[in-house]
Amino acid sequence: VEQTFLMVKPDGVQRGLIGEIVSRFEQKGFKLINAKLIQVPRELAESHYAELSDKPFFGELVDFITSSPVFGMIWEGENVITTARAMMGATNPSAAAPGTIRNDFAISVGMNIIHGSDSPENAKREIDLWFGGETLS
């Protein structure tokens, strides 16, 4: 069965949206496999977003993810990677469809509430990175 890594970002945690977000994935029918509230070490944030290290916003992105706790989760179910991304909506909330998490709860691309793995390869990589070992920090 497919698994994905989802993360409520600092803005979502601070705004009290963990329960709402967990509830949406539970109600959809996915299974919660693991979860933790964590203050992200800088090196973990940089590894997580390594594919974006050349982007002009990379520094701000790492600053933001490390600014206050995030809620990391592993979810399981049929097509969970693609379906979770659809439930999240477009990266920029102004382009996200009504009813998606980012449309319902966010305004700006920098603070868009939630992360979800974008491919099977990245799901495996991120699950290992966030939950796989004791050498994360």
Q: Both tokens of residue 92? A: 């920029």
Q: How far is the CB of 52 from Mg ion (least distance, A)?
A: 8
Q: Which is nearer to Mg ion, 109 or 136 (CB)?
A: 109
Residue 63 sits in the site that holds ligand ATP (CB under 6 A):
no
* Nearest CA-CA partner of 25 in 79, 68, 64: 79
Question: What is each CA distance from 57 to 9, 22, 72, 91, 122, in whole angstroms?
Answer: 16, 28, 22, 14, 20
Among 12, 45, 115, 130, binds ligand ATP (CB under 6 A): 115
Q: Check if 115 is active-site.
A: yes
For residue 130, give the 3-state DSSP assignment.
helix
Q: Verify binding: residue 123, ligand ATP, rule CB under 6 A.
A: no
Smallest gap from residue 108 Cβ to ligand ATP (A): 8
